[in-house]
Copies of this chain bind each other. A is one copy, B any other.
Amino acid sequence: MILKEGDFVLLVDGEKRYLKRLTRDFSLSVKDKQVKFQDVLGQEVGKVIKGFCLLLPTLEDIILLGFKRKTQIVYPKDSFYIAFKLNLSKEKRLLEFGVGSGASTAVFSQLAGEVWAYEIREDFYKLAKSNWEKFNLCQNVKLQNMDFLTAQLEEGFFDAAFIDVKDPLPYMDKVWKVLKPGAPMGSILPTTNQVSDLLRAIEGSFCDIEVLEISHRYYKINPERLRPQDTMVAHTGYILFARKRI
């Protein structure tokens, strides 16, 4: 593929990675290396130009480097697992609230048939919309700027649910109602207190409950001196899964 004006390009220099749009004023300077619009335009993806390997961004690159965020996002390490764990597929309709910057929705919408998404805050609603439009994502997502509690929805309407709000407790009755019997729901919770609270709230109404943490440990890529990076992300959130019991 040949890079043309307007494309998003991932420029990789060793372990450093930059996501940029190829506009006429594009320019990237890192230490003694510099690359400009004319250097990159018309080049084939995969080429190394002035020390930067030119690539197309993956979904992970877009979320981590391209999305604007005003809140803690659901990181790909978590959302990639959650998407499959919710058993999403083209025949499935997912409920999601709150949407925040839209990072997790961008992942779930790849696997699900459709996503009904609710975001109560207008600034987040606009941010998510703008992130998705910029990268041409989430065409199968119906995003509404409202509280999920006020949405008019049939019972048993959704095949799965994902909840990412500070306090999920007031929502759990309604989540239970709009899910199909046996359908999975997931939530990400930063603190152990929230996990205890949600476990208490779903006791009896959900079964097959799991709580886990996901850790990624990255390595330095020197084959003669293989070893983990010095530091790592220690925590993003606890992930809770359960299924609607009737």
Q: Which residues of A contact B (CB under 8 A)?
A: 1, 10, 12, 17, 44-48, 53-56, 58-60, 76-77, 80-81, 83-85, 87, 89, 107, 110-111, 180-184, 190-193, 195-197, 199-200, 203, 207-219, 221-235, 238, 243-246
Shortest beta-carbon distance from A187 to chain B in Å: 13
Contact B226–A193 (Cβ < 8 Å): yes
Residues of B within 8 A of A80 (CB): 80-81, 83-85
Closest B residue to A239 using CB positions: B216
Residues of B within 8 A of A210 (CB): 218, 221
From the candidates B87, B200, B227, B234, name the one contacting A59 in the complex (CB within 8 A). Answer: B87
Contact A208–B55 (Cβ < 8 Å): yes
Shortest beta-carbon distance from A156 to chain B in Å: 10
Q: Which 10 A-B pairs have the closest CB atoms?
A: A46-B181, A45-B182, A232-B234, A53-B207, A228-B235, A192-B192, A199-B223, A46-B182, A58-B87, A211-B219
Interchain Cβ contacts under 8 Å between A and B, 15 examples: A12-B243, A44-B181, A46-B180, A47-B246, A81-B81, A110-B111, A193-B196, A193-B226, A196-B224, A200-B223, A203-B223, A209-B221, A211-B218, A229-B234, A230-B235
Copy count, this protein chain = 4
Residues of B within 8 A of A191 (CB): 224-227
Contact A245–B87 (Cβ < 8 Å): no
Shortest beta-carbon distance from A204 to chain B in Å: 10
From the candidates B17, B229, B238, name the one contacting A235 in the complex (CB within 8 A). Answer: B229
Closest B residue to A89 using CB positions: B110
Closest B residue to A200 using CB positions: B223
Residues of B within 8 A of A193 (CB): 192, 196, 224-226
Closest B residue to A77 using CB positions: B81
Contact B245–A53 (Cβ < 8 Å): yes
Contact B196–A244 (Cβ < 8 Å): no
Closest B residue to A201 using CB positions: B223
Task: Identify which of A197, A217, A219 gathers the most chain B CB atoms within 10 Å of its CB.
Answer: A219
Residues of B within 8 A of A200 (CB): 223
Besides A193-B226, A199-B221, A229-B234, 7 new A-B residue pairs in contact (Cβ under 8 A), listed by A number = A1-B180, A54-B182, A84-B107, A195-B226, A199-B222, A212-B217, A213-B219
With contact pairs A192-B196, A245-B48 given, residues A230 and B221 touching in the complex (Cβ less than 8 Å): no
